[in-house]
């Protein structure tokens, strides 16, 4: 009985070690063939898409200055946190198979703040169906509103996240999202933490989410597969 319990504990420890074993980022392990998505200093490859009424920017924002600002000297893309509403900053080309490398951090706020944003992949041009890697202290995981048997349904993989590897607000995090065929995987700060193997969207758009919180992005790199 004691031997069986010891064996179970040993197997559990080995499984946990396997989950937590670091895996190099795709960008570092194979640096050739990546495209810098912020190389166009005027952000001409990006467009704003409202996520209120489909295809429209929230009332009062359509004519407002964009909340997205690129600092050419640092290469940091800032989403200001003082704009009301909800929108996607969408990269223009539609994509099939790819790996996306994104580094992000929230501005540290006083108190227990929820912080909210995300990195979109496999998303419709107008945001009517979408999939994203959630950012914030609650952990990096995949969720969205995607076709399931051709009918849009909520898909949430938070409970399938192997571990929460997201760092606190104020610190930089690294995400890599890989889409090959029907499978989408999320790598966070050194390890794959989520996988969705039933994605019915063959081609879609990537983007960044503005949801009223100040967040910075850098080193946005894309490799088509």
In the block, which residue shows the tokens 């998303």?
A: 123
Looking only at the bridges linking them, the beta strands covering 142-148 and 151-156 are antiparallel
Facing residues of 164 across strands?
none
pLDDT > 70 fraction of the chain, expressed in percent and rounded:
84
Please give the pLDDT value at position 166: 97
Residues 63, 60: Cα–Cα separation, whole Å: 7
pLDDT higher than threshold 50 for residue 183: yes
pLDDT > 90 fraction of the chain, expressed in percent and rounded:
69
Half-sphere exposure of 192 (CA within 13 A, CB side): 11
Facing residues of 217 across strands?
77, 104
Average pLDDT over residues 88-112: 93
Mean confidence (pLDDT) of the chain: 87
pLDDT higher than threshold 60 for residue 12: no
Please give the pLDDT value at position 84: 65
Please give the pLDDT value at position 146: 95
Average pLDDT over residues 95-121: 92
pLDDT higher than threshold 60 for residue 181: yes
pLDDT higher than threshold 90 for residue 126: yes
Q: Closest by alpha carbon to 34, among 97, 89, 91, 101?
A: 101
Question: Which pTM value belongs to this model?
Answer: 0.86
Structural domains in the chain, CATH included, are 22-224 (2.60.120.560)
Secondary structure E strands in the chain: 35-36, 46-50, 68-71, 76-79, 87-91, 98-106, 118-123, 130-134, 142-148, 151-156, 173-180, 183-188, 191-196, 205-210, 215-224
Q: Which residue has the higher pLDDT, 225 or 8?
A: 225
Return the number of other C-beta atoms located less than 10 Å from residue 143's C-beta. 18
Over residues 37-85, the pLDDT tens digits come to: 999 878 999 999 998 755 455 544 555 678 899 998 999 999 997 766 7
Q: Given phi > 0 = left and psi -120 to 50 = alpha, else beta, which region is 162? A: alpha
Please give the pLDDT value at position 62: 54
pLDDT higher than threshold 60 for residue 189: yes
Tokens of 60: 């009062």
């Amino acid at each position: 009985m004691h031997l069986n319990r010891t064996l179970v504990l040993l197997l559990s420890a080995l499984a946990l070690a396997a989950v937590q074993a670091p895996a190099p980022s795709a960008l570092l392990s194979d640096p050739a063939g990546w495209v810098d998505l912020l190389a166009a200093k005027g952000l001409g490859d990006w467009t704003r898409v409202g996520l209120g009424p489909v295809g429209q920017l929230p009332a009062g924002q359509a004519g407002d200055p964009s909340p997205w600002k690129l600092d050419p000297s640092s290469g940091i893309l800032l989403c200001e946190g003082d704009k009301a509403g909800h929108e996607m900053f969408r990269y223009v080309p539609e994509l099939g198979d790819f790996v996306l490398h994104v580094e992000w951090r929230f501005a540290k706020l006083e108190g227990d703040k929820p912080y909210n944003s995300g990195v979109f992949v496999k998303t419709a041009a107008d945001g009517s169906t979408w999939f994203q890697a959630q950012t914030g202290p609650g952990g990096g995981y995949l969720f969205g509103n995607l076709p399931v048997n051709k009918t849009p349904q909520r898909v949430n993989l938070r409970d399938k996240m192997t571990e929460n590897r997201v760092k606190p607000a104020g610190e930089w995090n690294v995400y890599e999202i890989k889409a090959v065929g029907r499978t989408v995987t999320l790598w966070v700060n050194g390890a794959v933490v989520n996988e969705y193997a039933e994605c019915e969207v063959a081609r879609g758009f990537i983007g960044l989410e503005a949801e009223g919180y100040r967040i910075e992005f850098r080193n946005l790199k894309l490799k088509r597969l």
